[in-house]
Amino acid sequence: MTSGLLLALTGVALFALGVAGVALIGNLLRRILAFNVMGSGAFLVLVGLAQRNGEPDPVPQAMVLTGIVVAVAATALALALTRRLHALTGRLELPEDVDG
């Protein structure tokens, strides 16, 4: 097993952890964190699978670099929305999670 394959397998595990977190956790801050864990898993799969034969491939690396920056921006936007929700309602859960 090459280190690239190991990275990809770790990525799959992280992605599944993140999906389970997003589905199960009601607290929005923790859900945003789970979403980021999911994203990191996807990035690891992209980079790891591309270099499973040893040599790294610059195209997936450039795509992941783009993806990381966009993920940071999306996280900041999600945090801003969460903060606004907290300021308006005093809660950190979505209404449907509180009822259900």
Partner 1 sequence: MKRIVVITFALGFVGVLASSMFDLGPAAVDLRVPVGAHLARSGVSHPVTAVLLNYRGYDTLLEIAVLLLALLAILAVAGDVRGASPGKAHPVLQTLAQLAAPLMIVVAVYLLWAGAFRPGGAFQAGAVLAAAAVLLHLVGLLPGWGTPGLGLRLGLAAGFAVFLTVAAVLLTQGFLLQYPPEAAGGLILLIEGGLMISLALILAGLFLFLSRDQETT
Residues that bind partner 1 (CB under 8 A): 5, 8-9, 12-13, 16-17, 19-20, 23-24, 49-50, 52-53, 55, 57-59, 61-63, 65-66, 69-70, 72-74, 76-77, 79-81, 83-84, 86-87
Q: Which pair of structure tokens corresponds to residue 17? A: 């952890």
Nearer to partner 1, 82 or 95 (CB): 82
* Least distance CB 86 / partner 1 (angstroms): 8
CB of 93 to partner 1, least distance (A): 15
Question: Both tokens of residue 70?
Answer: 């966009």
Q: Are 31 and 1 in contact (CB under 8 A)?
A: no
Measured from the CB atom, is 54 or 95 closer to partner 1? Answer: 54
Nearer CB in complex with partner 1: 69/95: 69
